[in-house]
């Protein structure tokens, strides 16, 4: 074995830390779902985080994506714990950042239960930053196998894409409940459309920064799709926001596909030269 792949005692520590962090996140998720005695997230903070609280809250069905993200996190945790991954240089760089995202994810659920909306905003922004940092590490250290892509990059990408939307919804809930004046409601549609445009710009920047990775875009598009459904079918209704959200969802997916196609054509042209 080379020095870059030889297993060290610190590698076992890293694997245990990841297992512990994800276990904490899963217990917090069960608590946040009301399974272990906690209050369901949609009912905490006087309903400020529910699917009908603001014009940018996705419909309730959107949150089923958490089940997918948690399954990927579990799969990643098992995979990274294998002896074959103990000395992985890529896992040495990404393992602790991924563990941090799991801890922040779990802490947000506890913050929603026991603290204030402002604390949830600070926590989810920290989670978004941690996920951005983690995906950057993965981009700078490209995967060498399908397994690395599937278990690590897709997991972090889905988490990042959804938390991007969740951050927007969380901040909007806080502003609506505690900061914005009552008159803000009269301009909610205009502000909602403006924020969706900003989300598209962020998602496009993420696609460029991650070299066309599709997982973040799919998760963000999922959230935008359900924002549109929520505003079309349930209160607070807003057909303009619904239409803009659906258009935004399409753009968010198209951008990385275009980047991937351009990169593919470039590779083919280089191979033929």
* Alpha-carbon span 153 to 74, nearest angstrom: 14
For CA atoms 7, 9, 10, 14, the dihedral sign is positive
Contact 131, 156 (CB under 8 A): yes
pLDDT at 271: 47
pLDDT at 268: 46
Phi, psi for 23 (deg, rounded to 5): -60, -45
Contact 52, 121 (CB under 8 A): no
pLDDT at 81: 97
Task: Write the DSSP symbol of residue 39.
Answer: P
In 141-185, alpha helices (H) = 146-148, 154-174
Report residue 117 as tokens.
């909306």
Report residue 14 as tokens.
């890293």
pLDDT at 272: 52
pTM (2 decimals)? 0.91
* Alpha-carbon span 252 to 219, nearest angstrom: 10
42 Cβ neighbours under 8 A, 6+ residues apart: 49, 50, 51, 60
pLDDT at 200: 94
pLDDT means per 10 residues in the chain (273 residues)? 61 97 96 81 86 90 95 98 95 98 96 93 97 96 95 97 94 85 73 93 90 93 96 91 97 93 59 50
Report residue 162 as tokens.
């959804």
Contact 134, 97 (CB under 8 A): yes
Phi, psi for 237 (deg, rounded to 5): -75, 145
Structure-token match 């470039």, residue found: 266
Cα–Cα nearest to 149, from 213, 67, 221, 234: 213
Q: How many CA atoms lie within 13 A of 11 on its CB side?
A: 19
* Residues constituting the chain: 273
């Amino acid at each position: 074995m080379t020095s870059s792949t030889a297993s060290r005692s610190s590698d076992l520590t890293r694997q245990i830390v990841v297992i512990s962090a994800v276990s904490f996140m899963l217990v917090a998720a069960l608590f946040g779902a009301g399974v272990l005695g906690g209050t369901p997230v949609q009912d905490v903070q006087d309903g400020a985080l529910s699917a009908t609280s603001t014009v940018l809250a996705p419909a309730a069905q959107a949150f089923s994506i958490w089940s997918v993200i948690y399954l990927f996190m579990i799969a990643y945790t098992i995979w990274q714990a294998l002896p074959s991954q103990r000395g992985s240089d890529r896992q040495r760089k990404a393992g602790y950042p991924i563990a941090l995202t799991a801890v922040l994810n779990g802490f947000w659920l506890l913050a929603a239960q026991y603290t204030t909306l402002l604390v949830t905003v600070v926590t989810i922004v920290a989670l978004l930053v941690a996920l951005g940092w983690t995906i950057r590490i993965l981009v700078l250290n490209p995967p060498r196998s399908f397994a690395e892509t599937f278990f690590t990059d897709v997991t972090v990408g889905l988490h990042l894409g959804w938390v991007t939307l969740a951050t927007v919804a969380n901040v909007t809930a806080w502003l609506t409940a505690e900061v914005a004046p009552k008159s803000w409601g009269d301009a909610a549609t205009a502000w909602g459309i403006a924020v969706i445009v900003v989300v598209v710009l962020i998602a496009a920047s993420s696609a460029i920064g991650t070299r066309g990775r599709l997982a973040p875009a799919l998760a963000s598009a999922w959230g935008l799709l359900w924002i549109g459904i929520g505003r079309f079918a349930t209160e607070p209704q807003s057909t303009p926001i619904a239409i803009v959200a659906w258009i935004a969802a399409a753009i968010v997916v198209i951008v990385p596909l275009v980047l991937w196609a351009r990169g593919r054509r470039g590779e083919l042209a280089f191979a033929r030269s």
